[in-house]
Amino acid sequence: MSEFDFDLFVIGAGSGGVRASRMASQYGAKVAVAEDTYLGGTCVNVGCVPKKLFVYGSHVPEEVEAAAGFGWRVSEPQFDWPTLRDNKTREIQRLNGVYRNILASAGVELIEGRARLLDAHTVEVAGKQYSAERILIATGGWPKIPEIPGREHIISSNEAFYLQEFPRRVLVLGGGYIAVEFAGIFNGLGAETELLYRGPLFLRGFDEEVRRFVAGQVAEKGVKLTFETNLVSVEKLDSGELKATLTDGTERIVDCVMAATGRAPKIEGLGLENTAVTTGRNGAVEVNEDFQTSEPSIYALGDVIGRMELTPVALAEGMALAKSLYLGEPTSVDYENIATAVFCQPNIATVGLTEEQVLERGIRARVYTADFKHMKHTLSGLAERTFMKILVDDASDKVIGCHMVGQDAGEIIQGIAIAIKAGATKSDFDQTIGIHPTAAEEFVTMREPSRVIG
């Protein structure tokens, strides 16, 4: 008979926590999960899933505009925000139920409420204490709002999914995934949208050539881009409008200010001070390669550890931990060549190294690029263009980076990520016969490098 109530107690029912708890239970462990907000975590509720649904919705006006070139006479579209918002909410509620069933069918006990660590083996939820041989922190992250006057009038992406009224004028603050994606969503749905970023160009960390191309495309679609400028304050006027004051002294009168200036690990009130768990930069829980904290019985994974804050990464980490602890198969996560996408408009997808990383590592590489109008837009009349880029190690001929901006970029790069993970060479790409006519075939028909670097 175990001296503990549970073999594993998981705090947080997001992607990583659910995967770890479900698999650990299937491997024979007695598992509980505590959750105080919503099942499925950020991705399902206020992240990837509802955001992608909004992206789909925001593309409709362009499709209507494009219809004329294909012979369709379509009346002026009328957008009803409550319909999109509420249909999205119903889908999220359905997914919450799916997660509840997943945990139940796996034999995991769900405890609803905010969990707090009392010591290395004890968790308290709603006044009741539970003991566990091991504890897993998988609480994810939470949006940060700038500490400026009038911050109470600023929303985060969390609130953007549930706005009572759709704004006519929006100021989006930030330069990462979320800011660029929501600028496209608001703009596509009909709002006059401005993206404000303190740096010289958004999407820091992505390939520079990709960033410049996307900036041109986003601006072409109607989003006003204001770089090297920040927000100083927000004031609510008697009219209900918001007056935003910027660092250059100018002002904006808008209906909504949304900040997407980063996320912080959700550790407030978790009781870490009652354990030996340590935190590092930005409050991220520090762990070793096995996701073990400085308190040997406590582990952490997902966004709360501040590595690659992506849902599939959290899933992989949860699987690796469950296998290592309860299946007797020490498993690690390979963070190299993880593909990712930004669902801005047009989409970005990327895998492997950027040109800047290639130069930093001193690799001599061939660079292949293609910039063209998608076949669809030869008739649609839309100005959108597609950009593709391949980076090839000149010594080994291995493809070490692949980037795309354009329609269905994520769908295309997912397949290419497998090839790069398997070590494909440029010769392998060249010998692959393309599917015609597609944009994707361009990746196997680029024969002449545009330049050699390194």
**Looking at the structure, do residues 22 and 62 belong to the same domain, yes or no?**
yes
**Looking at the structure, do residues 249 and 345 belong to the same domain, yes or no?**
no
**Looking at the structure, do residues 345 and 322 belong to the same domain, yes or no?**
no
Domain edge (last residue) among 327, 352, 367: 327
Q: What strand order describes the sheet that includes 154-155?
A: 154-155, 256-259, 169-173, 192-197, 224-227
**Looking at the structure, do residues 210 and 344 belong to the same domain, yes or no?**
no
Nearest residue to 141 via CA among 270, 278, 19, 296? 270
C-alpha span between 385 and 373 (Å, rounded): 5
Could you tell me if residue 334 is inside a domain? Answer: no
Q: What is the pLDDT along the chain (454 residues), one digit of tens a residue?
A: 579 999 999 999 999 999 999 999 999 999 999 999 999 999 999 999 999 999 999 999 999 999 999 999 998 889 999 999 999 999 999 999 999 999 999 999 999 999 999 999 999 999 999 999 999 999 999 999 999 999 999 999 999 999 999 999 999 999 999 999 999 999 999 999 999 999 999 999 999 999 999 999 999 999 999 999 999 999 999 999 999 999 999 999 999 999 999 999 999 999 999 999 999 988 999 999 999 999 999 999 999 999 999 999 999 999 999 999 999 999 999 999 999 999 999 999 999 999 999 999 999 999 999 999 999 999 999 999 999 999 999 999 999 999 999 999 999 999 999 999 999 999 999 999 999 999 999 999 999 999 999 9
**Looking at the structure, do residues 12 and 115 belong to the same domain, yes or no?**
yes
CATH of the domain at 393: 3.30.390.30
Give the domain extent around 211. Answer: 151-261
Could you tell me if residue 1 is inside a domain? Answer: no
Helix 311-322 vs helix 15-26: angle between axes, to the nearest 10 degrees? 20
Could you tell me if residue 454 is inside a domain? Answer: no
- pTM of the model as a whole: 0.96
C-alpha span between 228 and 196 (Å, rounded): 8
**Looking at the structure, do residues 319 and 301 belong to the same domain, yes or no?**
yes
C-alpha span between 37 and 25 (Å, rounded): 22
- 436 annotated active-site: yes
**Looking at the structure, do residues 119 and 29 belong to the same domain, yes or no?**
yes
